[in-house]
Amino acid sequence: MSDWIDTDLCVIGGGSGGLSVAAGAAQMGASVVLIEGHRMGGDCLNYGCVPSKALIAAAKKAHAHRSSAPFGVTADEPAVDYAAAMDHVKRAIATIAPHDSVERFEGLGVRVIEARAAFCSPSEVEAGGHVIRARRFVVATGSSPFVPPIPGLDSVPYLTNETLWDLRERPSRLIVIGGGPIGLEMAQAHRRLGCEVVVLEAFKALARDDAEIAAIALDRLRAEGIDIREGAKATEVSGSAGAIRVGLEGGDAVEGSHLLVAVGRRANVSGLGLDKAGVEHTDKGVTVDGGLRSVSNRRVYAIGDVAGGLQFTHVANYQAGLVIRNALFRLPVRNRTDIVPWATYTDPEIAQVGMTEAEAAESLPHGWEVHRFDFAGNDRAIAEGRTEGLIKVVVAKGGKIRGASIVGPQAGELILPWALAMSQGLKIGAMAGVIAPYPTLSEVSKRVAGAYYTPRIFGRPWIKRLIRLLARLG
């Protein structure tokens, strides 16, 4: 027996995107129903960003022990309690969870239904014995780990980002399939916590990032003892718990105690009744227009990982804002991808916004330039003993900033002014003219912007002649 609920907005999925839409819309006075079928907070809180960054933080502490000798502090091999590190992960999740909880959202005026949702018609969703009729629907169901059809994989115990956090015993030798951000962040964290780690990457590790930038991070990971094999496609898996063997294309094989599969994501579109709602979709997600509306059912929006674009928490949040503007205020919106930054939290970190050098070479007409500044020339980096880093910026004709790529300590923090500059259409002169506090890593941004002007100012004989002339005039 179903009851009927009429509402302005029905949001399916209580993760990064869904929670942002629901909170924003409810606080603006819309009636909102939010449906979550598993855990409030979604992937980011429970299985993604938060646990991974918490484990990375534990690993950093272990690494600090080993790397303190140059600072006059005796280095030693730390005693790692892996279960306690995982307790830290759980505490981090538990500390943030109230912010994403049913109680908080009900307090904001959202009606939360804890059940799985599915469309039963183009304008109705069924969940937990309710039928929800809404003026607009937002599909924010996220993604799940893609498990590739590698022969033998289904017959061995393997880990994904959903099960890794339940481990209590430290893997003695971890095999990671996939050299993307999940694979490499977890590879370094485990290496620093004392595991042997081998990463198998079919093509190129960190392929989405600038190649020169990625190479600096990969060199560091290898120097820490991670065996990163590129061009190593996993083609078969065998063995049992504690003794797993992964066969590679070409006949080679690696063995380990545990296996982590991190080869990308699968959009959560199945079981949602999208066909009953007339919502076009593919295995990459819901097919949306530039304003994130379904191309085939205009009542329906999709945001976050299920919208088929960049898969980051801040993208889901940004898209939530666009949907609120369009669905509640009927303002035109455009989902921009050219100004979205991202960071990979290896050490050194990698961050990117806009075009890489290779993308500029492919798509910009003549007249663009790339400028570099090495962290070895930054006083703070020298004081901290962290000079391994590089910032590169792509500048188009006329000084327009088209991209920034950073590898180095805190690259994820350092990318923000570049994201701001690009979103505001600022030119490189704005960054060159900013006053950066000394001594900070942030000075690398000012210095790389200054590099744009060096040949323009110091390389022009007429400027020197002008200065001499002005000096003569008194």
Ligand X SMILES: Cc1cc2nc3c(=O)[nH]c(=O)nc-3n(C[C@H](O)[C@H](O)[C@H](O)COP(=O)(O)OP(=O)(O)OC[C@H]3O[C@@H](n4cnc5c(N)ncnc54)[C@H](O)[C@@H]3O)c2cc1C
Q: What is the rounded CA–CA span in Å between residue 4 and residue 42?
A: 26
Q: Which is nearer to ligand NAD, 52 or 326 (CB)?
A: 52
Closest CA to 218 of 234, 199, 231: 199
| Residue 141 marked ligand-binding | yes
Half-sphere exposure of 151 (CA within 13 A, CB side): 5
180 binds, among ligand X, ligand NAD, none (CB under 5 to 8 A by kind): ligand NAD
Identify the residue among 305, 347, 388, 443 touching ligand X (CB under 6 A).
305
* Cis amide bond preceding 348, omega within 30: yes
Contact 244, 172 (CB under 8 A): no
Q: How far apart are CA 300 and CA 280, in angstroms?
A: 10
Closest to 184 in 3D by CA, of 201, 202, 164: 201
292: enclosing H helix or E strand: none
Interface mask toward ligand NAD for 120-149; x: CB under 6 A = ----------------------------x-
Q: How far is the CB of 18 from ligand X (least distance, A)?
A: 5
- Choose which of 181, 247, 348, 417 interacts with ligand NAD (CB under 6 A): 181
Alpha carbon separation from 41 to 8, 47, 128 (Å, rounded): 22, 10, 19
Cα gap 153→155, rounded to integer Å: 5
Question: Do 286 and 279 contact (CB within 8 A), yes or no?
Answer: yes
Tell me if 389 is assigned to a ligand binding site: no
Q: Closer to ligand X at the Cβ: 44 or 391?
A: 44
The size of the interface with ligand NAD (CB under 6 A), counted in residues, is 27
- Rounded to a whole number of angstroms, the minimum distance from the CB of residue 229 to ligand NAD is 9
Pick 85 or 370: Cβ nearer ligand X: 85
268 binds ligand X (CB under 6 A): yes
Determine whether the annotation assigns residue 264 to a binding site: yes
Going 350 to 354 to 356 to 357, the CA torsion angle's sign is: negative
Q: Are 386 and 216 in contact (CB under 8 A)?
A: no
Distance of alpha carbon 10 from alpha carbon 137, whole angstroms:
5
Contact partner at residue 352 from ligand NAD, ligand X, none, CB < 5 to 8 Å by partner kind: none
Q: Are 408 and 390 in contact (CB under 8 A)?
A: yes
Query: How far is the C-alpha of 389 from the C-alpha of 444, rounded, in Å?
Result: 10
Query: Interaction with ligand X in 24-83: which residues (CB under 6 A)?
Result: 35-39, 42-44, 48-49, 52
Selection from 292, 301, 290, 335 nearest residue 9 by Cα: 301
DSSP strands (E only) in 101-171: 111-114, 117-121, 124-127, 130-139, 143-145
Was 423 annotated as part of a binding site?
no
Judged by beta carbon, residue 229 or residue 299, the one nearer ligand NAD is 229
Check if the beta carbon of residue 387 is closer than 8 Å to that of residue 376: yes
Flag whether 184 is marked binding: yes
- Over the window 160 to 199, marking each residue x when it contacts ligand X by CB under 6 A and - when it does not, the resulting string is -x--------------------x-----------------
The yes or no reply on residue 312 touching ligand NAD (CB under 6 A) is yes
Using CB under 6 A, which residues numbered 331 to 350 contact ligand NAD? 342-345
Q: Is 15 in the site for ligand X (CB under 6 A)?
A: yes
By Cβ distance, which residue is nearest to ligand X? Answer: 15
Total of chain residues touching ligand X, rule CB under 6 A: 37
Structure-token pair, residue 384: 């901290």
Q: Which stretch in 236-244, 268-276, 277-285, 388-396 sits in contact with ligand X by CB under 6 A?
A: 268-276
Our measurement of the distance from residue 457's CA atom to the centroid of its chain's CA atoms, rounded to an integer in Å, reads 38
Closest distance between ligand X and the C-beta of residue 364, in Å?
A: 27
Q: Which is nearer to ligand X, 259 or 306 (CB)?
A: 306
Contact status: 82 vs ligand NAD (CB under 6 A): no
Question: In this structure, what token pair is assigned to residue 380?
Answer: 């703070």
Residues 97-156 that bind ligand X (CB under 6 A): 116-117, 140-142
Tokens of 32: 């909102």
For residues 143 and 294, which CB has a smaller minimum distance to ligand NAD in the complex? 143
Tokens of 383: 């004081």
Distance (Å, whole) CA 438 – CA 379:
9
Instruction: List contacts with ligand NAD (CB under 6 A).
Output: 148, 150, 177-183, 185, 200-203, 207, 233-234, 262-265, 311-312, 342-345
Q: Which residues contribute to the annotated binding site for NAD(+)?
A: 178-185, 201, 264, 305
Instruction: List contacts with ligand X (CB under 6 A).
Output: 12-18, 35-39, 42-44, 48-49, 52, 116-117, 140-142, 161, 182, 268, 271-272, 304-306, 311-314, 316, 345
Q: Which residues contribute to the annotated binding site for FAD?
A: 53, 141-143
